[in-house]
Structure 1
Amino acid sequence: MNRSGPVKLIGLIAGIALSNIAVLSPGLLGLQIVGGSTLETASGVTLLFTSLLVVLYGSYTLLFKTPATPSVRNLETRDDYIAGLSRYRNVKALQKDVLLALEQLERIDKKKSTLMNILGERFEPTELSFRKFQTVIVEVEKLLYLNVRGILNKLSVFDASEFNLFTSRQRPKPFSDTLVQRKNELYNEYFAHVTGYLGANEEILLKLDQLLLEISLLDNTDYRAVDEMPCMKELNALIGQTKLYQN
Structure 2
Amino acid sequence: MLSNTNVIKLLGLMLVVAAVNILVLSPGFLGVQIGASALSTATGITLLVASAWILINGIYQFLFKKPVVIPVKEIRTHEEYVERLSQYRETKGIEEEISIGLEQMERMQKRKSTFFQVLKQRFNESELSFSKFASVALDVENLFYQNIRNILNILSVFDETEFDRVVNRKMSGLSIELSQKKAKVYNDYLTSMKNALTNNEEILVKLDRLLLEISSLDNVEPEDIEQLACMQELDALIKQTKYYKA
TM class, shorter-length: 0.7 to 0.9
Secondary structure at 1:70 match in 2? coil
Inter-partner Cα distance in structure 2 for 1:109 and 1:189: 29
Inter-partner Cα distance in structure 2 for 1:209 and 1:154: 28
Match of 2:176, as an amino acid? D
Does the Cα contact within 8 Å between 1:2 and 1:66 map onto a contact in 2? Answer: no
Give the match for residue 199 of structure 1. 198
Does the Cα contact within 8 Å between 1:9 and 1:59 map onto a contact in 2? Answer: no
The TM-score, its normalising length taken from structure 1, stands at: 0.74
Match of 1:205, as an amino acid? L
2:217 aligned with 1:218, yes or no? yes
Give the drift of 1:179.
2.2
Structure 1's 177 and 108: CA in aligned 2 closer, same or farther, altered over 3 A? Answer: same
2:131 aligned with 1:134, yes or no? no
Does the Cα contact within 8 Å between 1:116 and 1:134 map onto a contact in 2? Answer: yes
Q: Counterparts in 2 of 1:1-247, with a 5 A limit? A: 1=2, 4=6, 27=38, 63-64=63-64, 66-169=66-169, 171=170, 173-247=172-246
Q: Deviations over 1:1-51 (max 9, x none)?
A: 45537559979x99xxxxxxxxxx9948x9xxxxxxxxxxxxxxxxxxxx9
Q: Which runs of 5+ in 2 are unaligned?
A: 19-34, 42-51
Q: Which runs of 5+ in 1 are unaligned?
A: 15-24, 31-50
Secondary structure at 2:76 match in 1? coil
Root-mean-square deviation (Å): 3.2
Give the drift of 1:219.
3.1
Secondary structure at 1:92 match in 2? coil
- Shifted more, 194-203 versus 115-124: the winner is 115-124
Give the drift of 1:119.
1.6
Q: Deviations over 1:94-117 (max 9, x none)?
A: 111111111111111111222222
Match of 1:245, as an amino acid? Y
Inter-partner Cα distance in structure 1 for 2:106 and 2:60: 36
Which structure: larger Rg? 1
The TM-score, its normalising length taken from structure 2, stands at: 0.74
Q: Deviations over 1:102-147 (max 9, x none)?
A: 1111111111222222222221111111111111111111110111
| Alignment length (residue pairs) | 220
Does the Cα contact within 8 Å between 2:128 and 2:222 map onto a contact in 1? Answer: yes
Structure 1's 135 and 88: CA in aligned 2 closer, same or farther, altered over 3 A? Answer: same
Inter-partner Cα distance in structure 2 for 1:199 and 1:235: 15
Give the match for residue 18 of structure 1. none
Give the drift of 1:182.
1.3
Structure 1's 229 and 60: CA in aligned 2 closer, same or farther, altered over 3 A? Answer: closer
Inter-partner Cα distance in structure 2 for 1:60 and 1:119: 47
Structure 1's 132 and 7: CA in aligned 2 closer, same or farther, altered over 3 A? Answer: same
Inter-partner Cα distance in structure 2 for 1:122 and 1:68: 43
